[in-house]
Chains A and B, each alone.
Chain A
Amino acid sequence: MSDVHTTPEPDDAEFNDFVQLLKPRVMSLVVFTALVGLLVAPKGLTFIEGFASVLFIALGAGASGALNMWWDADIDAIMKRTLGRPVPSGRVTSGEALGFGVALSGLSVMMLGLAANWIAASILAFTIFFYAVVYSMWLKRLTPQNIVIGGAAGAFPPMIGWVAATGSISLESSLMFALIFMWTPPHFWALALFMKEDYAAAGVPMLTVTHGRKSTRTHILVYTIMLIPIAVGIGFTAIGGIAYVAISTVMSALFLRGAFQIWTRNEEQALADHYKIEKQVFRFSLYYLFVLFSAFLLEVVLKPYGFGGW
């Protein structure tokens, strides 16, 4: 009788490698915005339904991240920041990433449909399709506006949270979508200015490469200006209130100041202080979104005491 041997694979995938395929940092933003979308909705779900809804929205977003890593393994292997990801590092095979992404996509959509409703599940399915196919496979390597259009995928979670609770899309959820959609370009382009990834070698037409850094600085300012009416305007809908309007006005003014500073600088100035302003604006943009969505929650918390809302 012969013994069974397996080939030793010291780089076998650990559980954490599959967690990394889900892009946990992106998932944390998805969890937060979806939770806010769900909590500010006029109708509520039971705790376990709400918990399951947010979990499966996050898993769906993670699944699209896994599909993105499967498709972009060739790009990830070129750029320093992404070289250590599970697929280019060889810890997870390309087929495993694809299978994991497809299976989780199906599971998350079906489970969201069962936990909440099928409209929310349909939007989640569309989001996964949009990120994996429209953004990753099609636009990312085709146009320097890839970030703008791809931002839509990240903008859907609060809308899905809202629809999970109410069963319908409304003005408020559409404006929450628009808020993240308009926030993504200045946020990401600020990062692109100081990260200096080798996008050209990877064949990704980033704005900093195709149109230059001066043009990117202008784009950041223009998109920030377009973001502000949406960010403040939501405050006058049913989910807003005086507190939100005040907070969003102050935060938007600070964001605009940062974008203006980026616009007035040139590369020599940025190199001299190691992209201090660009890094500050990038960090601030993260706080900006977090604070604005927290302000929606604040309105909900204040409402029972007669302060929140209009």
Chain B
Amino acid sequence: MAFDKPHEIYKRRFSRNVGVGLALVFFVALVFGLTVVKMIRGQDMRAYDHVLRPNLIAPQAPDAPDAPKVQP
């Protein structure tokens, strides 16, 4: 059985499909680039999750007035 010739909708919507395709490729490339930049900069992407993690607390001088008292 011979293939029919392509439907006219492919011709009619060619520019639209190419445009959408290029826009999506560009968007993916941009998101990838943004991800790489943010990872390279080493941003701490973890936020406070209701569990105290000592590394989220900024280091304080031992004699600072707000420094937590260490129990002997």
- The interface of chain A, by Cβ under 8 A from chain B, is 6, 8-9, 12-16, 18, 46, 48-49, 51-52, 55, 111, 114-115
5 smallest A-B Cβ distances: which pairs? Answer: A15-B19, A48-B33, A15-B16, A48-B37, A46-B37
The one of A12, A49, A111 in contact with B13, judged by C-beta atoms closer than 8 angstroms, is A12
B37 and A55 contacting across the interface, CB-CB below 8 Å: no
Q: List 18 A-B contacts (CB under 8 A).
A: A6-B7, A12-B12, A12-B13, A12-B16, A14-B16, A15-B15, A15-B18, A15-B19, A16-B15, A48-B30, A48-B37, A49-B37, A52-B33, A52-B34, A55-B30, A111-B31, A114-B34, A115-B34
Contacts of A52 in B (CB 8 A): 30, 33-34
Give the interface size bracket for B toward A. 10 to 19
> Which residues B20-57 have CB closer than 8 A to chain A?
20, 30-31, 33-34, 37, 41
A15 to chain B: which residues have CB within 8 Å? 15-16, 18-20
**In whole angstroms, what is the CA distance A284 to B66 when docked?**
60
CA distance A46 to B37 in the complex (A): 8
**B33 pairs with A6, CB closer than 8 A:** no
Residues of B close to A13: CB separation below 8 A: 16
Chain B residue with Cβ nearest A10: B12
B34 — which chain A residues lie within 8 A by C-beta? Answer: 48-49, 52, 114-115
Residue B9 at the chain A interface, CB threshold 8 Å: yes
CB-CB under 8 A from A114, the residues of chain B are 34
B8, B15, B20, most chain A CB atoms within 10 A: B15
Residues on B with C-beta less than 8 A from A115 are 34
A14 to B19, CA, bound (A): 9
Q: How far is the CA of A48 from the CA of B34 in the complex (A)?
A: 6
Q: How far is the CA of A115 from the CA of B31 in the complex (A)?
A: 9
> Which partner residue on chain B sits nearest A12 by CB separation?
B12
A residues in contact with B7, CB < 8 Å: 6
B12 cross-chain contacts in A, Cβ below 8 A: 8-9, 12
Q: CA of A115 to CA of B16 in the docked complex: distance in angstroms?
A: 28
Inside 8 A of B19's CB, which chain A residues have their CB?
Answer: 15-16, 18
Residues from chain A with Cβ under 8 Å of B18 in the complex: 15
Least Cβ–Cβ distance between A100 and chain B, in angstroms: 12
Complex alpha-carbon distance, A28 and B33, angstroms: 24
Assess whether A14 is in contact with B33, with CB atoms less than 8 Å apart.
Answer: no
Q: Which B residues are in CB contact (< 8 Å) with A55?
A: 30
Q: Does B16 lie within 8 Å of A6, measured CB to CB?
A: no
State A9–B16 Cα separation when bound (angstroms). Answer: 14
Closest approach, in angstroms, between the C-beta of B45 and any C-beta of chain A? 11
A111 to B27: give the CA distance in the assembly, Å: 10
Question: Which chain A residue lies CB-closest to B22?
Answer: A15
Which residue on chain A has the smallest CB distance to residue B9? A6
* CB neighbours of A49 from chain B (8 A): 34, 37
Task: Name the distance in Å between A50's Cβ and chain B's nearest Cβ.
Answer: 10
Collect the chain B residues with CB atoms within 8 Å of residue A18's CB: 16, 19
B13 to chain A, nearest CB (A): 6
CB distance from B68 to the nearest CB of A (A): 29
Cα A52 to Cα B34 in complex, Å, equals 8
* Given A14-B16, A16-B19, A46-B37, 10 additional A-B pairs, CB 8 A: A6-B9, A9-B12, A12-B12, A13-B16, A15-B18, A15-B20, A18-B16, A48-B37, A51-B30, A52-B33
Chain A: which residue is nearest B13 at the CB level? Answer: A12
Chain B's nearest CB lies how many Å from the CB of A52? 6
Q: Which residue of A lies closest to B12 (CB)?
A: A12
